Amino acid sequence: MTATVYAAVDAQTLADAVGLGAIYALMAVGIGLVFGVLRLVNFAYGQLIMAGAYTLAFTAHWRVVWSIVACFVVVVALSLLMDRAVFRPLRGASPAVMLVTTFAIAFMLQAIALLVDIRDDTIGEIATSIAPLNQPTTIQGVDVRKITIVAVVVAAVSLALVALLLLRTTIGLHMRAASADFGTARLLGVRANRVIAFAVLLSGLLAAIVSVMLTVQFPFVGPDFALRDTIVVLVGVVVGGIDRLWTATLGGFAIGFTTGVINGALPTEQTVFLPSAVFALVILVLLLRPAGLFAWGRGAVERV
Amino acid sequence: MADAPALSIRDLEVRYGAVPAVRNLSLDVGKGEIVGLIGPNGAGKSTTLHAIMGLVSARSGIVKLDGHPVLGRKPESIAHRGMALVPEGRRIYGDFTVEENLRLGLAARRGRYGKDVLAGAYELFPVLRDFRKRQAGVLSGGQQQQLAIARALVAQPDVLLLDEPSLGLAPSLVDDVFAALAEIREGGFAVLLVEQRAQRTVALADRTHVLSNGELRLTLGPDDAGDTEKMVAAYFA
Amino acid sequence: MRRLLEPVVQFLAPALLVVGVGIGSTLVSSSNEIYFLNALVSVAIVVAIYVFIGNSGVLSFGQMSFVAVGAFAAGILTIPLESKTGVLPELFPLLRDHTIGNVASLLLGAAAGGAFALIVGLPLMRLSGLAAGIATFAVLEVTHNILREWTKIGPGATTLSLVPETTDAVQATVGALVVIAAALAYQRSRLGRRLRASREDPAAARGVGVNVHRERLWAFTVSGALAGFAGALLVHLLGSITTEQVYLELTFLTLAMLVIGGLTSLWGAVVGALVVSALDSFLIEAEQGVDLGISLDLPQGTRLIFLGAIMALVLIVRPSGLTGGREFRLTR
C-alpha cells in the first residue's frame, strides 16, 4: 500500500499540493486576522471569494488588468460592508450567536449570487480572460502549471508583507495588541474601530488575491464557489490553532497540502471515503489537542 | 481655567445592576499632587477608576479632565484626552518585547515625538532599558509593575490613575514603587492612587480619601499616617 | 400550587400550538397539508436539537447526523420486502431480509439515533466552544459521506423511495407531542438541571460536584434518540429520503429555527420551528406566484435569502430570540 502511495506522489502532485496549501494559507490569514480582533469566525469568508470570482466572470470581456482591479474593488467593498452591517452590531454578542449569524449571512449571500447568476438561465459563469494562466510549463522535466508557481510566489510574498506589517509597523503592533487583549489596548489609546477596519481591509485584500488565483484554476464560477475550500480551511485553522495567527496559517497550509497530496496520490475509486478519513482525523486531533495542533503550552485552554 | 484641577469628580454613582457600587463620590486631583484612595476590599475603589476611564458605565455624575467632561466616553478617547490607567494586575503583554509594550503606550500620546521618545521611561526605570529587547513575560513582578507605570507615562498624560500598584510585591519593591510615584509627582503629573497599603499611601499622598461601601467616609492628611485609631475608625465606619 | 402548575403550563403551551397545527392540517387542501405536517416534523427535529444545544450551551453542528441515521434506518426497514431486493440489491442480508411496522420503525429510529449519539458523544463531550463546533461538524460530514457511499447499508447516492407514507396528521402531531414531552421531562429532571447549571458557569458547576462530561453525554444521547425519532417521522412523511435532504441545508434551517425562536428554551424551539416553517412555506408558495391582493412572484432561490436575512436580523436585533429564551409563563 505504501509503495503504491509513494509511486503516486510524484513531483506534479507535490507541486499542486504546495500550491493549494499556499492558497489555503492566505485564506487562513484572512480568517485569522478578523478572528483576532473580533473573536468572530466569519463563515461567510468564502462568499467574499465567490463575489470576486463572479466579478472576474462578469468582466471577462474587459482587459485582464481591469478585470482584476474590479475584483479587488468588489471584494474589499463587500468585506467592509460586512463589517459595518453585521460585525459591528454583533460586537459583544455570545460566540454562538456570532457563529450562527455569519452562517446565515453565508447562506444569504449564496442565494443572492444565485439570483444574479440565473438571469441568463444558466447557473455558472466562466471567467475566460484569466484562464490562460492555467497552462503548464516544464521545469526540469516536471510539468507544473504556471498558476501553481504564481500561487506559491504570490502567497509567499503576501505572507511576508503581512508579517512585516504586523511586526514592524505601529498599526500592526496595535492589531497584535488588540488580538491579545483588546481591553488593555483600548486603555492605552488604541482605537478599536480603526484596528478592526484595518483587519477587515487586509482580510478583504487577501480574499481578493485568493479569488483571482482560484478562478484561474477553476474558471467555472457558481454560487458555491470556494464553499468547500472555506469549510476545509476553517477546519484547518481550528485544528492548527485559531488563537494565534501563525498557528492558524500553518493549519491552513497543512490541510491544503495534505488534501492535495491525498487527492493526487490515491486513485479515484479509493477516494470516495476520503472525506470520512479526513474528518475522522480532524476529530482525533481536536480530542487530543483542542487548542490546536501547533499551539504550545497549557494544552486544553478553551478561548471561545 | 488655570486653577481648575486636572481631574475633578462630582457625585459619581456607579451601579452593577440594582446594586450601587459607588455613591456620591466627589474629589479633585491637581497637577503635581498625589491623591490616595484607600478602603476595605469591595469598597468600590477599582470601580471608581474603571468608571472614570470609561471601562464601566456610570449611573450619574460629572468627571472633568482639565475642565472637559469625559464621563461616558470610550476608553481610547479618554486616553487620548490625557488620562492613563495602570490597571490592577498590570496587564502587560507578556509575548511582546518590553520596547513594544512601551511603544503601545504611545498610542495615546498627543503631539509629535522623535526617535528617542522612550528615553524618559528608560531614565526613570533603568532596568527596562536593559531588558528592552526581551519578552516582557520574563520580567519579575516588580519589574513588570515598573513597565506598566512607564507604559502609562509614555503617553504623557495629565492624569495618572493607578490601581493597587503594590499588589503582590515584596516590601523592598514596594519601596521602589512608592519612590517612583514621588518622582512622578515631581514631574507635575496629577496622580490618583488606589491602594491597599493604607499607611504608606496616607504618608505619601497629599491627601487620602477613605472609601467604604461605595461612599467617601473620611479624608486624611500625611500627618495622620501615624494615627492608628483614626485609620481603624475610618475603615470600619 | 404554582410549583405543580408550572410543568403543566410549560407543556400545554407548546402542545396546544402543535395540536392546533395538526388540526389545521386536516382542514386545508391536500396541497397545503404538506406544509402543516412538515411544520410538525420540524418541531420534532428542532426540539430534539434544542435538548442538547439549549441545555448545554454547546453549539453542535452534527445533530442532523442522528436525524439522518433515524430516517435511513426507519426507511430501509419499512420498504416492502418484495421491492427491497430490486431497489437496494447490495444491502447487508440483515437489512434486506427484514421489514418492520410503522411504530417499530419509529422506535428503531430513536434507538439508532440514540446509540450513534452515545458512541460519538463519549469522546466528543469533553470539547467546548469552537472545537466542539468543528468536531460535531466533522461528525456530520463523516455521516453524510458514509451514508452516501456505502451501498451495503443504504441506497448511497440514489433516493431511498417506496417508504410507506405513514406520517399523517395524527402521527405528526403525536410524534411532535412525544418529543416535546420528553424534552420537558429531561430538562426538569435532576439531569437536566445539573446540565443547565454547567451551561451558566462550568467552573462553579464542577465545584458543586457536577460531572459536566457525563451530563453533556446524557443530553447528547437523549437529543440523538429524539432526533432519530424525528428522522423516522420525516422519512414516513416524505415517503423517500436522500442524503442531501439531511445535510447542510436542513442543518442551517433547523439551527435558524432554534435561534430565531430562542436558543435556551423549549418554548423558543417550538415557536421558532413553527414561525420559520410558516415563513418558509409562504416563501415557497411565493416563489411559484401567490396572490395577496398584489401579485407576488419571487424568483426561485429567494427564500434562502430571506431566511438568511431574517435570521441575521433577528440575531442582531434580539439575540435571545422571539421568546427571549424563556419558557412560557402565565404571569408576567
Question: Are the Cβ atoms of A101 and C316 closer than 8 angstroms?
Answer: yes
C80 part of contact set with chain A, CB < 8 Å: no
Question: Are the Cβ atoms of C316 and A276 closer than 8 angstroms?
Answer: no
User: Any idea which of A72-76, A208-212, C164-168, C222-226 has the lowest mean pLDDT?
Assistant: C164-168
Question: Cβ atoms within 10 A of the Cβ of B203, count?
Answer: 17
Share of chain B above pLDDT 70, in %: 97
pLDDT higher than threshold 50 for residue A304: no
Question: Are the Cβ atoms of A107 and C134 closer than 8 angstroms?
Answer: no
Question: Are the Cβ atoms of A186 and B74 closer than 8 angstroms?
Answer: yes
Of C18, C51, C115, C68, which Cα lies nearest the Cα of C231?
C68
Task: Tell the burial category of A183 from Cβ atoms under 10 Å away from its Cβ (0-12, 13-18, 19+).
Answer: exposed
Mean pLDDT of chain C: 87
pLDDT band at A302 (very low <50, low <70, confident <90, very high): very low
List of chain A residues whose C-beta atoms are within 8 Å of the C-beta of residue B76? 186-187, 189-192
pLDDT higher than threshold 60 for residue C288: yes
**Strand partners of residue B16:** B19
Identify the residue with better confidence: A144 or C40: C40
Which of A96, A118, A273 lies at the smallest CB-CB distance from C263?
A96
- Tell me the pLDDT tens digit for each residue of B95-118: 999 999 999 999 999 888 888 888
User: Any idea which of A82-86, B24-28, B173-177, C205-209 has the lowest mean pLDDT?
Assistant: C205-209
User: Any idea which of A3-17, C94-108, C138-152 has the lowest mean pLDDT?
Assistant: A3-17
Question: Are the Cβ atoms of C124 and A304 closer than 8 angstroms?
Answer: no
pLDDT recorded at residue A208? 96
Identify the residue with better confidence: A97 or A277: A277
Kindly state the average pLDDT of the residues C220-249.
Answer: 93
Report how far residue C92's alpha carbon sits from residue C72's, in angstroms, rounded to the nearest whole number. Answer: 14
Contact: chain C with chain A (3+ CB pairs below 8 Å):
yes
pLDDT higher than threshold 80 for residue B226: no
- Tell me the pLDDT tens digit for each residue of B70-98: 988 999 999 999 999 999 988 999 999 99
pLDDT band at A127 (very low <50, low <70, confident <90, very high): low
pLDDT band at C275 (very low <50, low <70, confident <90, very high): very high
A39 part of contact set with chain B, CB < 8 Å: no
Chain B residues bordering chain A (beta-carbon distance below 8 Å): 53, 55, 74-76, 79-80, 84-85, 87, 91, 93, 95-96, 100, 103-109, 151-152, 155
pLDDT recorded at residue C227? 97
Find the helix packing angle between C248-261 and C64-76, rounded to 10°.
120
Which of B79, B95, B108 lies at the smallest CB-CB distance from A180?
B95
Which chain A residue is nearest to residue C131, measuring alpha carbons? Answer: A290
Share of chain C above pLDDT 90, in %: 39
Report how far residue B215's alpha carbon sits from residue B24's, in angstroms, rounded to the nearest whole number. Answer: 6
Beta strands, E only, chain A: 125-126, 136-139, 142-145, 220-221
Query: Of the ranges B162-166, C7-11, C88-92, C147-151, which is most confident?
Result: B162-166
List of chain B residues whose C-beta atoms are within 8 Å of the C-beta of residue A180? 93, 95-96
Question: Are the Cβ atoms of A279 and C142 closer than 8 angstroms?
Answer: yes
Chain A closest CA to C313's CA: distance in Å? 9
Kindly state the average pLDDT of the residues A16-21.
Answer: 90
Of A18, A7, A59, A80, which Cα lies nearest the Cα of A265?
A7
- Tell me the pLDDT tens digit for each residue of C120-137: 999 999 888 888 888 999
pLDDT higher than threshold 60 for residue A93: yes
pLDDT band at A300 (very low <50, low <70, confident <90, very high): very low
pLDDT recorded at residue B40? 84
Report how far residue A105's alpha carbon sits from residue A301's, in angstroms, rounded to the nearest whole number. Answer: 29
What are the CA-CA distances from residue A216 to residues A110, A221, B84 (Å)? 21, 10, 52
- Tell me the pLDDT tens digit for each residue of A266-292: 766 667 887 888 889 889 988 998 888
List of chain A residues whose C-beta atoms are within 8 Å of the C-beta of residue B90? none
- Tell me the pLDDT tens digit for each residue of B32-50: 999 999 988 878 899 999 9
pLDDT band at A148 (very low <50, low <70, confident <90, very high): confident
pLDDT recorded at residue A301? 39
Between the two ends of chain B, the Cα-to-Cα distance in Å is 37
Nearest-5° Cα angle at C213, C207 to C218: 120
pLDDT band at A169 (very low <50, low <70, confident <90, very high): very high
pLDDT band at B1 (very low <50, low <70, confident <90, very high): very low
pLDDT band at B52 (very low <50, low <70, confident <90, very high): very high
Which chain C residue is nearest to residue A102, measuring alpha carbons? Answer: C312
ipTM for the assembly: 0.89
Of A213, A198, A229, A218, which Cα lies nearest the Cα of A71?
A213
pLDDT recorded at residue C203? 80
Question: Are the Cβ atoms of A184 and B103 closer than 8 angstroms?
Answer: no
Report how far residue C255's alpha carbon sits from residue C272's, in angstroms, rounded to the nearest whole number. Answer: 10
Beta strands, E only, chain C: 290-292, 294-296
Chain A closest CA to B9's CA: distance in Å? 19
Query: Of the ranges A140-149, C114-123, C202-211, which is most confident?
Result: C114-123
For residue B40, which amino acid is it?
A: P
Residues with Cβ within 8 Å of A153's Cβ and at least 6 positions away in sequence, in order, are none
pLDDT higher than threshold 50 for residue A299: no
Of C148, C149, C315, which to mutate for an interface test with A (greatest number of A Cβ within 10 Å)?
C315
pLDDT band at C297 (very low <50, low <70, confident <90, very high): low
- Tell me the pLDDT tens digit for each residue of A34-59: 999 998 889 899 999 999 999 988 88
Question: Are the Cβ atoms of B87 and A184 closer than 8 angstroms?
Answer: yes
Q: How many cross-chain Cβ pairs, A to C, lie less than 8 Å apart?
A: 131
A181 part of contact set with chain B, CB < 8 Å: yes
Chain C closest CA to A94's CA: distance in Å? 9
Contact between residue A213 and residue A154 where contact means Cβ atoms under 8 Å apart: yes
Chain B closest CA to A227's CA: distance in Å? 35
pLDDT recorded at residue A48? 96
Report how far residue C65's alpha carbon sits from residue C72's, in angstroms, rounded to the nearest whole number. Answer: 11
Question: Are the Cβ atoms of A275 and C135 closer than 8 angstroms?
Answer: no
Which chain B residue is nearest to residue A184, measuring alpha carbons? Answer: B91
Kindly state the average pLDDT of the residues A85-102.
Answer: 82
pLDDT higher than threshold 50 for residue C30: yes
Question: Are the Cβ atoms of B79 and A184 closer than 8 angstroms?
Answer: no
Share of chain C above pLDDT 70, in %: 95
Q: How many cross-chain Cβ pairs, A to B, lie less than 8 Å apart?
A: 62
pLDDT recorded at residue C300? 62
pLDDT higher than threshold 90 for residue C208: no
Mean pLDDT of chain B: 89
C309 part of contact set with chain A, CB < 8 Å: yes
Of A173, A176, A184, A187, which to mutate for an interface test with B (greatest number of B Cβ within 10 Å)?
A187
pLDDT recorded at residue A100? 79
pLDDT recorded at residue A133? 66
pLDDT higher than threshold 70 for residue C301: no
Which of B55, B95, B151 lies at the smallest CB-CB distance from A188?
B151
Report how far residue B213's alpha carbon sits from residue B43's, in angstroms, rounded to the nearest whole number. Answer: 5
Mean pLDDT of chain A: 84
pLDDT band at C298 (very low <50, low <70, confident <90, very high): low
Query: Of the ranges A8-12, A253-257, A269-273, B114-118, which is most confident?
Result: A253-257
Question: Cβ atoms within 10 A of the Cβ of B179, count?
Answer: 11
pLDDT recorded at residue B182? 93
Between the two ends of chain C, the Cα-to-Cα distance in Å is 17
Report how far residue A147's alpha carbon sits from residue A155's, in angstroms, rounded to the nearest whole number. Answer: 12
pLDDT recorded at residue C155? 86
Report how far residue A193's alpha carbon sits from residue A176's, in angstroms, rounded to the nearest whole number. Answer: 14
Identify the residue with better confidence: C256 or C331: C256
Kindly state the average pLDDT of the residues A124-139.
Answer: 66
Chain C closest CA to A72's CA: distance in Å? 24
List of chain B residues whose C-beta atoms are within 8 Å of the C-beta of residue A191? 76, 107
Which of A181, A187, A189 lies at the smallest CB-CB distance from B93?
A181
Report how far residue B74's alpha carbon sits from residue C7's, in angstroms, rounded to the nearest whole number. Answer: 46
pLDDT recorded at residue A165? 94
Of A103, A105, A255, A287, which to mutate for an interface test with C (greatest number of C Cβ within 10 Å)?
A103
Chains that touch A (3 or more CB pairs under 8 A): B, C
Question: Are the Cβ atoms of A97 and C315 closer than 8 angstroms?
Answer: yes
Helix (H, G, I), strand (E, B) or coil at A301: coil
pLDDT recorded at residue C320? 82
pLDDT recorded at residue C317? 84
